Structure 1
Amino acid sequence: MNIRVFDSEREAAAACAQRIARAVAERPSLVLGLPTGRTPLNVYRELVGAFQQGRLDLSQVRTFNLDEFLGISADDAGSFRAYMDRHFFQHVNLAPEHIHFLDGTTTDPAAECARYDARIAEVGGLDLVLLGLGTNGHLAFNEPAEGLVSRSHRVRLSRATREANVMLFGDDASRVPLEALTLGMAGILQARRVVLLAFGASKAEAVRAMVHGPVSPRCPASFLQLHPDAEVWLDPAAHAHV
Protein backbone atom coordinates (compact mmCIF):
# COMPACT_ATOMS: atom_id res chain seq x y z
CA MET A 1 0.00 0.00 0.00
CA ASN A 2 1.06 3.56 -0.69
CA ILE A 3 0.35 5.41 2.57
CA ARG A 4 0.12 9.20 2.64
CA VAL A 5 -0.41 11.26 5.77
CA PHE A 6 -1.94 14.72 5.43
CA ASP A 7 -1.98 17.50 7.99
CA SER A 8 -5.77 17.54 8.01
CA GLU A 9 -8.83 15.79 6.68
CA ARG A 10 -9.63 18.84 4.53
CA GLU A 11 -6.17 18.75 2.92
CA ALA A 12 -6.57 15.07 2.11
CA ALA A 13 -10.02 15.66 0.64
CA ALA A 14 -8.72 18.43 -1.62
CA ALA A 15 -5.89 16.21 -2.84
CA CYS A 16 -8.31 13.35 -3.44
CA ALA A 17 -10.62 15.54 -5.49
CA GLN A 18 -7.64 16.70 -7.54
CA ARG A 19 -6.65 13.06 -8.12
CA ILE A 20 -10.15 12.24 -9.36
CA ALA A 21 -10.24 15.34 -11.56
CA ARG A 22 -6.92 14.36 -13.18
CA ALA A 23 -8.19 10.83 -13.78
CA VAL A 24 -11.32 12.22 -15.46
CA ALA A 25 -9.23 14.55 -17.62
CA GLU A 26 -7.12 11.59 -18.74
CA ARG A 27 -10.15 9.34 -19.27
CA PRO A 28 -13.41 11.31 -19.68
CA SER A 29 -15.50 8.11 -19.56
CA LEU A 30 -13.94 7.06 -16.24
CA VAL A 31 -15.90 4.47 -14.22
CA LEU A 32 -15.99 5.51 -10.58
CA GLY A 33 -16.94 3.51 -7.49
CA LEU A 34 -18.32 5.87 -4.86
CA PRO A 35 -18.91 5.57 -1.10
CA THR A 36 -21.19 7.36 1.34
CA GLY A 37 -20.85 8.25 5.01
CA ARG A 38 -19.06 11.15 6.66
CA THR A 39 -15.58 10.45 5.28
CA PRO A 40 -16.13 11.43 1.61
CA LEU A 41 -18.25 14.53 2.25
CA ASN A 42 -15.37 16.97 1.85
CA VAL A 43 -14.26 15.18 -1.31
CA TYR A 44 -17.71 15.68 -2.82
CA ARG A 45 -17.67 19.34 -1.79
CA GLU A 46 -14.31 19.80 -3.49
CA LEU A 47 -15.51 18.06 -6.66
CA VAL A 48 -18.65 20.22 -6.76
CA GLY A 49 -16.47 23.29 -6.39
CA ALA A 50 -14.21 22.16 -9.23
CA PHE A 51 -17.23 21.63 -11.47
CA GLN A 52 -18.71 25.03 -10.61
CA GLN A 53 -15.38 26.65 -11.43
CA GLY A 54 -15.27 24.94 -14.81
CA ARG A 55 -12.35 22.67 -13.91
CA LEU A 56 -14.25 19.36 -14.04
CA ASP A 57 -16.52 17.82 -16.67
CA LEU A 58 -18.35 14.69 -15.54
CA SER A 59 -20.68 14.39 -18.51
CA GLN A 60 -19.17 11.10 -19.70
CA VAL A 61 -18.24 9.64 -16.31
CA ARG A 62 -20.15 6.61 -15.05
CA THR A 63 -20.64 6.00 -11.33
CA PHE A 64 -21.48 2.92 -9.31
CA ASN A 65 -22.21 3.39 -5.63
CA LEU A 66 -20.90 0.72 -3.34
CA ASP A 67 -23.99 -0.09 -1.31
CA GLU A 68 -27.58 0.69 -0.37
CA PHE A 69 -29.85 -0.12 2.54
CA LEU A 70 -32.34 -2.91 1.94
CA GLY A 71 -36.01 -2.12 2.33
CA ILE A 72 -36.01 1.63 1.68
CA SER A 73 -36.59 3.51 -1.55
CA ALA A 74 -34.24 5.87 -3.34
CA ASP A 75 -36.38 8.87 -2.33
CA ASP A 76 -36.24 8.00 1.37
CA ALA A 77 -34.15 10.70 3.04
CA GLY A 78 -32.09 8.01 4.79
CA SER A 79 -31.14 6.16 1.61
CA PHE A 80 -27.65 6.38 0.22
CA ARG A 81 -29.13 7.49 -3.11
CA ALA A 82 -30.71 10.47 -1.37
CA TYR A 83 -27.37 11.19 0.32
CA MET A 84 -25.60 11.20 -3.04
CA ASP A 85 -28.26 13.43 -4.58
CA ARG A 86 -27.95 15.94 -1.74
CA HIS A 87 -24.19 16.09 -1.60
CA PHE A 88 -23.05 15.41 -5.16
CA PHE A 89 -25.32 14.31 -8.01
CA GLN A 90 -27.62 17.36 -7.98
CA HIS A 91 -24.68 19.75 -8.18
CA VAL A 92 -22.67 18.37 -11.11
CA ASN A 93 -23.25 17.37 -14.74
CA LEU A 94 -23.36 13.59 -14.42
CA ALA A 95 -25.81 12.16 -16.93
CA PRO A 96 -28.70 10.45 -15.08
CA GLU A 97 -28.27 7.32 -17.20
CA HIS A 98 -24.63 7.10 -16.09
CA ILE A 99 -25.52 6.90 -12.37
CA HIS A 100 -25.87 3.34 -11.08
CA PHE A 101 -27.22 2.15 -7.76
CA LEU A 102 -28.34 -1.05 -6.11
CA ASP A 103 -32.13 -1.03 -5.68
CA GLY A 104 -33.01 -1.19 -2.01
CA THR A 105 -36.67 -1.91 -2.76
CA THR A 106 -36.00 -5.08 -4.72
CA THR A 107 -38.08 -8.15 -3.90
CA ASP A 108 -35.30 -10.40 -5.23
CA PRO A 109 -31.99 -9.29 -3.68
CA ALA A 110 -29.97 -12.07 -5.32
CA ALA A 111 -31.20 -11.12 -8.80
CA GLU A 112 -30.62 -7.43 -8.12
CA CYS A 113 -27.05 -8.11 -7.01
CA ALA A 114 -26.40 -10.24 -10.10
CA ARG A 115 -27.79 -7.44 -12.28
CA TYR A 116 -25.45 -4.92 -10.65
CA ASP A 117 -22.36 -7.08 -11.11
CA ALA A 118 -23.30 -7.69 -14.75
CA ARG A 119 -23.68 -3.96 -15.39
CA ILE A 120 -20.24 -3.26 -13.91
CA ALA A 121 -18.77 -6.01 -16.07
CA GLU A 122 -20.44 -4.53 -19.17
CA VAL A 123 -18.57 -1.24 -18.72
CA GLY A 124 -15.26 -3.03 -18.11
CA GLY A 125 -15.09 -2.80 -14.31
CA LEU A 126 -14.26 0.11 -12.05
CA ASP A 127 -11.37 2.35 -13.06
CA LEU A 128 -11.10 4.01 -9.66
CA VAL A 129 -12.90 3.21 -6.43
CA LEU A 130 -12.99 5.62 -3.52
CA LEU A 131 -13.33 3.90 -0.15
CA GLY A 132 -13.97 4.75 3.46
CA LEU A 133 -12.99 2.42 6.30
CA GLY A 134 -15.29 1.09 8.99
CA THR A 135 -14.07 1.07 12.56
CA ASN A 136 -14.38 -2.72 12.41
CA GLY A 137 -12.37 -2.88 9.18
CA HIS A 138 -15.28 -3.21 6.78
CA LEU A 139 -15.18 -1.99 3.18
CA ALA A 140 -18.48 -0.89 1.64
CA PHE A 141 -20.83 -3.16 3.65
CA ASN A 142 -18.51 -6.16 3.58
CA GLU A 143 -18.53 -6.87 7.31
CA PRO A 144 -15.95 -8.94 9.23
CA ALA A 145 -16.85 -12.62 8.92
CA GLU A 146 -15.42 -16.11 8.77
CA GLY A 147 -15.38 -15.75 5.00
CA LEU A 148 -16.07 -12.95 2.54
CA VAL A 149 -18.44 -12.96 -0.42
CA SER A 150 -16.78 -12.04 -3.69
CA ARG A 151 -19.86 -10.84 -5.57
CA SER A 152 -22.49 -8.26 -4.68
CA HIS A 153 -24.74 -9.64 -2.00
CA ARG A 154 -27.23 -9.11 0.80
CA VAL A 155 -25.66 -8.49 4.20
CA ARG A 156 -26.83 -8.13 7.78
CA LEU A 157 -25.26 -5.03 9.25
CA SER A 158 -23.28 -5.08 12.47
CA ARG A 159 -24.31 -2.90 15.37
CA ALA A 160 -21.20 -0.74 14.91
CA THR A 161 -22.02 -0.16 11.24
CA ARG A 162 -25.63 0.74 11.99
CA GLU A 163 -24.53 3.16 14.70
CA ALA A 164 -22.14 4.78 12.24
CA ASN A 165 -25.10 5.62 9.99
CA VAL A 166 -27.52 7.04 12.56
CA MET A 167 -27.05 10.58 11.21
CA LEU A 168 -29.06 9.55 8.14
CA PHE A 169 -32.00 8.56 10.32
CA GLY A 170 -32.35 11.43 12.74
CA ASP A 171 -29.76 9.96 15.11
CA ASP A 172 -32.21 7.16 15.91
CA ALA A 173 -30.38 3.82 15.71
CA SER A 174 -33.68 1.91 15.76
CA ARG A 175 -34.55 3.39 12.36
CA VAL A 176 -31.37 2.22 10.62
CA PRO A 177 -32.16 -0.81 8.44
CA LEU A 178 -30.84 -4.15 9.61
CA GLU A 179 -29.74 -5.23 6.14
CA ALA A 180 -28.19 -3.81 3.00
CA LEU A 181 -26.98 -4.71 -0.47
CA THR A 182 -23.28 -4.24 -1.13
CA LEU A 183 -20.70 -4.57 -3.83
CA GLY A 184 -18.64 -7.66 -3.05
CA MET A 185 -14.92 -7.81 -2.42
CA ALA A 186 -14.19 -8.91 -5.98
CA GLY A 187 -15.75 -5.76 -7.38
CA ILE A 188 -13.57 -3.67 -5.08
CA LEU A 189 -10.33 -5.58 -5.52
CA GLN A 190 -10.71 -5.77 -9.31
CA ALA A 191 -10.86 -1.97 -9.57
CA ARG A 192 -7.80 -0.72 -11.39
CA ARG A 193 -7.05 1.89 -8.73
CA VAL A 194 -8.15 2.20 -5.10
CA VAL A 195 -7.99 5.30 -2.90
CA LEU A 196 -9.01 4.72 0.73
CA LEU A 197 -9.57 7.61 3.12
CA ALA A 198 -9.56 7.25 6.91
CA PHE A 199 -9.62 10.10 9.41
CA GLY A 200 -9.70 10.43 13.18
CA ALA A 201 -8.54 8.43 16.16
CA SER A 202 -11.55 6.09 15.95
CA LYS A 203 -10.11 4.65 12.72
CA ALA A 204 -6.54 4.17 13.98
CA GLU A 205 -6.90 0.55 15.10
CA ALA A 206 -8.68 -0.45 11.88
CA VAL A 207 -5.92 1.22 9.88
CA ARG A 208 -3.29 -0.73 11.81
CA ALA A 209 -5.09 -4.02 11.18
CA MET A 210 -5.54 -3.17 7.52
CA VAL A 211 -1.89 -2.30 6.95
CA HIS A 212 0.00 -4.59 9.31
CA GLY A 213 -2.40 -7.36 10.27
CA PRO A 214 -2.82 -10.68 8.49
CA VAL A 215 -4.92 -10.76 5.35
CA SER A 216 -8.10 -12.05 6.93
CA PRO A 217 -11.87 -11.84 6.44
CA ARG A 218 -11.99 -10.70 10.06
CA CYS A 219 -10.62 -7.40 8.67
CA PRO A 220 -11.96 -7.09 5.12
CA ALA A 221 -9.81 -4.02 4.44
CA SER A 222 -6.68 -6.13 4.94
CA PHE A 223 -7.28 -7.59 1.47
CA LEU A 224 -6.11 -4.27 0.05
CA GLN A 225 -2.60 -5.49 0.90
CA LEU A 226 -2.99 -7.66 -2.21
CA HIS A 227 -4.06 -4.85 -4.54
CA PRO A 228 -1.44 -3.63 -7.05
CA ASP A 229 -2.49 0.05 -6.91
CA ALA A 230 -4.00 0.88 -3.50
CA GLU A 231 -3.44 4.23 -1.83
CA VAL A 232 -4.30 4.88 1.81
CA TRP A 233 -4.72 8.53 2.72
CA LEU A 234 -4.80 9.39 6.43
CA ASP A 235 -4.71 12.26 8.87
CA PRO A 236 -2.26 12.07 11.81
CA ALA A 237 -4.86 10.66 14.22
CA ALA A 238 -5.77 7.75 11.93
CA HIS A 239 -2.06 7.12 11.32
CA ALA A 240 -1.23 6.92 15.03
CA HIS A 241 -0.82 3.13 15.23
CA VAL A 242 0.80 2.53 11.85
Structure 2
Amino acid sequence: MEIVIVQHKDEAAKIAADIVESYVREGKTLGLATGSTPLGTYQELIRRHREQDLSFRDCQAFLLDEYVGLPRSHEQTYYQTIRREFTSHIDIDDAQVHSPDGTAEHPGEAARAYDRSIGDAGGVDIQILGIGSDGHIGFNEPTSSLQSRTRIKTLHPDTVRDNARFFDDDESKVPHHVMTQGIGTIGEARHLLLLAFGENKAEAIAAMVEGPVSAMCPASALQMHEHVTVIVDTAAASGLKHTQYYNYALENKPTWQAF
Protein backbone atom coordinates (compact mmCIF):
# COMPACT_ATOMS: atom_id res chain seq x y z
CA MET A 1 0.00 0.00 0.00
CA GLU A 2 1.01 3.58 -0.66
CA ILE A 3 -0.02 5.58 2.40
CA VAL A 4 -0.28 9.33 1.77
CA ILE A 5 -0.92 11.45 4.87
CA VAL A 6 -2.04 15.04 4.31
CA GLN A 7 -3.07 17.93 6.51
CA HIS A 8 -6.30 18.91 4.78
CA LYS A 9 -9.04 17.38 2.64
CA ASP A 10 -8.34 19.88 -0.15
CA GLU A 11 -4.82 18.53 -0.51
CA ALA A 12 -6.15 14.97 -0.58
CA ALA A 13 -8.66 15.89 -3.28
CA LYS A 14 -5.92 17.29 -5.53
CA ILE A 15 -3.69 14.24 -5.12
CA ALA A 16 -6.60 11.89 -5.75
CA ALA A 17 -7.67 13.92 -8.79
CA ASP A 18 -4.11 13.72 -10.16
CA ILE A 19 -4.28 9.94 -9.95
CA VAL A 20 -7.73 9.68 -11.51
CA GLU A 21 -6.85 12.18 -14.24
CA SER A 22 -4.01 9.96 -15.46
CA TYR A 23 -6.58 7.23 -16.15
CA VAL A 24 -9.18 9.59 -17.59
CA ARG A 25 -6.74 10.92 -20.19
CA GLU A 26 -6.25 7.34 -21.40
CA GLY A 27 -10.00 6.69 -21.61
CA LYS A 28 -9.90 4.06 -18.89
CA THR A 29 -12.79 2.58 -16.90
CA LEU A 30 -13.58 4.30 -13.60
CA GLY A 31 -15.04 2.76 -10.45
CA LEU A 32 -17.07 5.39 -8.61
CA ALA A 33 -18.15 5.57 -4.99
CA THR A 34 -20.82 7.80 -3.47
CA GLY A 35 -20.92 9.37 -0.02
CA SER A 36 -19.27 12.49 1.35
CA THR A 37 -15.66 11.22 1.24
CA PRO A 38 -14.99 11.47 -2.53
CA LEU A 39 -16.91 14.71 -3.06
CA GLY A 40 -13.81 16.91 -2.94
CA THR A 41 -12.13 14.72 -5.54
CA TYR A 42 -15.18 14.88 -7.80
CA GLN A 43 -15.38 18.65 -7.44
CA GLU A 44 -11.72 18.97 -8.38
CA LEU A 45 -12.22 16.75 -11.43
CA ILE A 46 -15.24 18.83 -12.46
CA ARG A 47 -13.10 21.96 -12.15
CA ARG A 48 -10.40 20.42 -14.34
CA HIS A 49 -13.02 19.44 -16.91
CA ARG A 50 -14.35 22.99 -17.05
CA GLU A 51 -11.08 24.90 -16.78
CA GLN A 52 -8.43 22.55 -18.16
CA ASP A 53 -10.33 20.63 -20.85
CA LEU A 54 -10.14 17.31 -19.03
CA SER A 55 -12.47 15.12 -21.09
CA PHE A 56 -14.25 11.99 -19.88
CA ARG A 57 -15.92 11.22 -23.21
CA ASP A 58 -13.86 8.07 -23.80
CA CYS A 59 -14.44 6.68 -20.29
CA GLN A 60 -17.11 4.53 -18.77
CA ALA A 61 -17.88 4.08 -15.09
CA PHE A 62 -19.27 1.47 -12.73
CA LEU A 63 -20.83 2.21 -9.34
CA LEU A 64 -20.08 0.18 -6.24
CA ASP A 65 -23.58 -0.34 -4.93
CA GLU A 66 -27.27 0.53 -4.88
CA TYR A 67 -30.25 0.31 -2.54
CA VAL A 68 -32.71 -2.48 -3.28
CA GLY A 69 -36.31 -1.37 -3.78
CA LEU A 70 -35.88 2.37 -4.37
CA PRO A 71 -37.05 3.52 -7.80
CA ARG A 72 -34.28 5.07 -9.86
CA SER A 73 -36.10 8.39 -9.72
CA HIS A 74 -35.65 8.56 -5.92
CA GLU A 75 -33.13 11.25 -5.01
CA GLN A 76 -31.27 8.97 -2.59
CA THR A 77 -30.53 6.19 -5.06
CA TYR A 78 -26.86 6.06 -5.93
CA TYR A 79 -27.98 6.14 -9.58
CA GLN A 80 -29.25 9.69 -8.96
CA THR A 81 -26.58 10.69 -6.44
CA ILE A 82 -23.57 10.08 -8.69
CA ARG A 83 -25.23 12.04 -11.50
CA ARG A 84 -26.19 14.91 -9.21
CA GLU A 85 -22.75 15.15 -7.60
CA PHE A 86 -20.45 14.25 -10.46
CA THR A 87 -21.24 12.74 -13.84
CA SER A 88 -23.86 15.26 -15.03
CA HIS A 89 -21.17 17.96 -14.67
CA ILE A 90 -18.67 16.31 -17.02
CA ASP A 91 -18.82 15.04 -20.59
CA ILE A 92 -19.17 11.32 -19.95
CA ASP A 93 -22.03 9.69 -21.88
CA ASP A 94 -24.80 9.01 -19.36
CA ALA A 95 -25.33 5.56 -20.86
CA GLN A 96 -21.73 4.78 -19.94
CA VAL A 97 -22.39 5.29 -16.21
CA HIS A 98 -23.47 1.85 -15.01
CA SER A 99 -25.02 0.94 -11.68
CA PRO A 100 -26.67 -2.13 -10.13
CA ASP A 101 -30.40 -2.44 -10.79
CA GLY A 102 -31.99 -2.23 -7.35
CA THR A 103 -35.47 -2.41 -8.89
CA ALA A 104 -34.98 -5.77 -10.63
CA GLU A 105 -37.66 -8.39 -10.14
CA HIS A 106 -34.96 -10.91 -9.29
CA PRO A 107 -32.25 -8.92 -7.45
CA GLY A 108 -29.91 -11.87 -6.99
CA GLU A 109 -29.83 -12.54 -10.72
CA ALA A 110 -29.39 -8.82 -11.41
CA ALA A 111 -26.43 -8.71 -9.04
CA ARG A 112 -24.73 -11.58 -10.81
CA ALA A 113 -25.43 -9.97 -14.19
CA TYR A 114 -23.90 -6.68 -12.99
CA ASP A 115 -20.81 -8.53 -11.80
CA ARG A 116 -20.44 -10.14 -15.23
CA SER A 117 -20.94 -6.81 -16.99
CA ILE A 118 -17.87 -5.37 -15.26
CA GLY A 119 -15.75 -8.20 -16.58
CA ASP A 120 -17.31 -7.98 -20.03
CA ALA A 121 -16.26 -4.31 -20.14
CA GLY A 122 -12.66 -5.27 -19.44
CA GLY A 123 -12.73 -4.56 -15.72
CA VAL A 124 -12.26 -1.39 -13.69
CA ASP A 125 -8.94 0.42 -14.05
CA ILE A 126 -9.15 2.81 -11.09
CA GLN A 127 -11.61 2.23 -8.23
CA ILE A 128 -12.38 5.03 -5.78
CA LEU A 129 -13.25 3.82 -2.28
CA GLY A 130 -14.22 5.11 1.13
CA ILE A 131 -14.17 3.13 4.35
CA GLY A 132 -16.72 2.81 7.13
CA SER A 133 -15.82 3.27 10.78
CA ASP A 134 -16.22 -0.51 11.15
CA GLY A 135 -13.89 -1.21 8.22
CA HIS A 136 -16.52 -1.88 5.58
CA ILE A 137 -15.96 -1.04 1.91
CA GLY A 138 -18.91 -0.80 -0.43
CA PHE A 139 -21.63 -2.39 1.68
CA ASN A 140 -19.42 -5.31 2.67
CA GLU A 141 -20.02 -5.27 6.40
CA PRO A 142 -17.81 -7.11 8.93
CA THR A 143 -17.89 -10.91 8.45
CA SER A 144 -18.31 -10.49 4.67
CA SER A 145 -16.39 -13.06 2.65
CA LEU A 146 -13.12 -11.67 1.37
CA GLN A 147 -13.79 -13.44 -1.94
CA SER A 148 -17.39 -12.26 -2.29
CA ARG A 149 -18.92 -11.16 -5.58
CA THR A 150 -21.66 -8.63 -6.33
CA ARG A 151 -24.67 -9.73 -4.29
CA ILE A 152 -27.54 -8.71 -2.02
CA LYS A 153 -26.63 -7.72 1.54
CA THR A 154 -28.70 -6.83 4.60
CA LEU A 155 -27.51 -3.62 6.21
CA HIS A 156 -26.31 -3.68 9.80
CA PRO A 157 -28.54 -1.61 12.12
CA ASP A 158 -25.63 0.80 12.69
CA THR A 159 -25.40 1.43 8.94
CA VAL A 160 -29.15 1.98 8.73
CA ARG A 161 -28.86 4.43 11.61
CA ASP A 162 -25.95 6.25 9.93
CA ASN A 163 -27.82 6.52 6.61
CA ALA A 164 -31.02 7.81 8.20
CA ARG A 165 -29.63 11.35 7.87
CA PHE A 166 -30.29 11.06 4.13
CA PHE A 167 -33.90 10.00 4.76
CA ASP A 168 -35.20 12.81 6.98
CA ASP A 169 -33.56 11.13 10.00
CA ASP A 170 -36.20 8.42 9.76
CA GLU A 171 -34.72 4.91 9.95
CA SER A 172 -37.99 3.41 8.74
CA LYS A 173 -37.43 5.06 5.34
CA VAL A 174 -33.95 3.57 4.88
CA PRO A 175 -33.89 0.43 2.71
CA HIS A 176 -32.50 -2.50 4.68
CA HIS A 177 -31.14 -4.32 1.63
CA VAL A 178 -28.54 -3.27 -0.89
CA MET A 179 -26.82 -4.64 -3.97
CA THR A 180 -23.07 -4.26 -3.60
CA GLN A 181 -19.92 -5.27 -5.39
CA GLY A 182 -18.21 -7.91 -3.29
CA ILE A 183 -14.70 -7.66 -1.93
CA GLY A 184 -13.54 -10.13 -4.57
CA THR A 185 -15.10 -7.99 -7.29
CA ILE A 186 -13.59 -4.78 -5.92
CA GLY A 187 -10.20 -6.47 -5.66
CA GLU A 188 -10.14 -7.14 -9.40
CA ALA A 189 -9.82 -3.42 -10.16
CA ARG A 190 -6.27 -2.68 -11.27
CA HIS A 191 -5.71 0.27 -8.93
CA LEU A 192 -7.60 0.95 -5.70
CA LEU A 193 -7.73 4.52 -4.40
CA LEU A 194 -9.09 4.79 -0.85
CA LEU A 195 -9.79 8.08 0.91
CA ALA A 196 -10.57 8.62 4.59
CA PHE A 197 -10.90 11.71 6.77
CA GLY A 198 -11.55 12.34 10.43
CA GLU A 199 -10.71 10.75 13.74
CA ASN A 200 -13.76 8.47 13.55
CA LYS A 201 -11.98 6.60 10.72
CA ALA A 202 -8.68 6.21 12.59
CA GLU A 203 -9.42 2.80 14.08
CA ALA A 204 -10.61 1.41 10.74
CA ILE A 205 -7.57 2.75 8.88
CA ALA A 206 -5.20 1.25 11.45
CA ALA A 207 -6.96 -2.12 11.19
CA MET A 208 -6.94 -1.98 7.40
CA VAL A 209 -3.26 -1.07 7.04
CA GLU A 210 -1.54 -2.61 10.06
CA GLY A 211 -3.96 -5.21 11.38
CA PRO A 212 -4.39 -8.82 10.31
CA VAL A 213 -6.32 -9.66 7.18
CA SER A 214 -9.71 -10.50 8.61
CA ALA A 215 -13.36 -10.60 7.60
CA MET A 216 -14.03 -8.52 10.73
CA CYS A 217 -12.33 -5.64 8.88
CA PRO A 218 -13.31 -6.20 5.25
CA ALA A 219 -11.02 -3.41 4.04
CA SER A 220 -8.01 -5.35 5.34
CA ALA A 221 -8.33 -7.49 2.20
CA LEU A 222 -6.74 -4.56 0.37
CA GLN A 223 -3.41 -5.62 1.90
CA MET A 224 -3.36 -8.44 -0.66
CA HIS A 225 -3.90 -6.15 -3.66
CA GLU A 226 -0.96 -5.29 -5.90
CA HIS A 227 -1.70 -1.57 -6.18
CA VAL A 228 -3.50 0.39 -3.46
CA THR A 229 -3.15 4.11 -2.71
CA VAL A 230 -4.55 5.26 0.63
CA ILE A 231 -4.93 9.01 1.15
CA VAL A 232 -5.82 10.09 4.69
CA ASP A 233 -5.72 13.25 6.75
CA THR A 234 -3.74 13.38 9.98
CA ALA A 235 -6.84 12.65 12.07
CA ALA A 236 -7.65 9.47 10.14
CA ALA A 237 -3.98 8.48 10.32
CA SER A 238 -3.76 9.02 14.07
CA GLY A 239 -4.10 5.31 14.86
CA LEU A 240 -1.20 4.26 12.63
CA LYS A 241 2.00 3.24 14.39
CA HIS A 242 4.44 3.39 11.49
CA THR A 243 3.80 6.75 9.82
CA GLN A 244 7.52 7.50 9.67
CA TYR A 245 8.01 4.49 7.42
CA TYR A 246 5.08 5.36 5.18
CA ASN A 247 6.29 8.92 4.67
CA TYR A 248 9.85 7.76 4.03
CA ALA A 249 8.71 5.16 1.48
CA LEU A 250 6.62 7.73 -0.38
CA GLU A 251 9.28 10.44 -0.35
CA ASN A 252 11.93 8.01 -1.61
CA LYS A 253 9.80 6.45 -4.31
CA PRO A 254 11.63 6.23 -7.69
CA THR A 255 10.76 9.26 -9.77
CA TRP A 256 9.70 7.06 -12.69
CA GLN A 257 7.06 5.29 -10.62
CA ALA A 258 3.75 7.13 -10.75
CA PHE A 259 1.12 6.80 -8.02
The whole-number CA distance in structure 1 between the counterparts of 2:144 and 2:34 is 25
Q: How does 1:67-82 map to 2 (within 5 A)?
A: 67-82=65-80
One-letter amino acid of the counterpart of residue 133, structure 2: T
Tell me the residue number matched to 2:249.
none
Match of residue 20 from structure 1: 20
2:125 equivalent to 1:124: no
Deviations 1:114-168 (A, max 9, x none): 1111111111111010000011100101111163452100000112222332332
- How much is the aligned-residue C-alpha RMSD, in angstroms? 1.3
Deviations along 1:93-122, one digit per CA (max 9) or x if unpaired, are: 111221100011111111101111111111
Deviations 1:72-100 (A, max 9, x none): 01110111111111111211111122110
Q: How many residues align?
A: 240
Distance 2:182 2:144 in 1: 15
Correspondence list, 1:31-110, <5 A:
31-110=29-108
CA contact (8 A) 2:134 2:217 kept: yes
CA distance in 2, matches of 1:110, 1:177: 16
1:223 corresponds to which letter in structure 2? A
Q: Tell me the equivalent position of 1:133.
A: 131
In our comparison, the structure showing a higher alpha carbon Rg is 2
Q: What is the identity, as a one-letter code, of the residue corresponding to 2:21?
A: A
The answer (yes or no) to whether the contact 1:77–1:168 under 8 Å persists in 2 is no
Question: 2: CA distance between counterparts of 1:9 and 1:160?
Answer: 26
Q: State the match for 2:11 in structure 1.
A: 11
2:52 alignment partner, SS class: coil
Aligned AA (1:162)? V
Give the corresponding residue for 2:170.
Answer: 172
Question: What CA deviation, in whole Å up to 9, does each residue of 1:10-45 have, x standing for no partner?
Answer: 2101211121112211x22x1111111110111111
Misfit runs of 4+, over 4 Å: none
How many Å separate the matches in 1 of 2:155 and 2:65?
12
Extract unaligned runs of 5+ from structure 1: none
On the 8 A contact 2:146/2:221 being kept in 1, the answer is no
The answer to whether the 8 A contact 2:213-2:220 is kept is: yes
| Separation (CA, whole Å) in 2 of partners of 1:205 and 1:23 | 31
1:113 match: 111
Cα contact 1:136–1:160 (8 A) shared by 2: no
Distance 1:138 1:182 in 2: 12
| 3-state DSSP of counterpart to 1:46 | helix
Q: 1:149 to 1:175 in 2, by over 3 A?
A: farther
Paired residue for 1:191, among 179, 189, 192? 189
CA distance in 1, matches of 2:53, 2:3: 27
Q: Does the 8 Å contact 1:142/1:148 carry over to 2?
A: no
The residue matched to 1:166 in structure 2 has which SS? Answer: helix
Residue aligned with 2:23, SS: helix
TM-score, length of structure 1 as denominator length:
0.95
Q: Percent same amino acid at aligned positions?
A: 38
Displacement of 1:221: 0.2
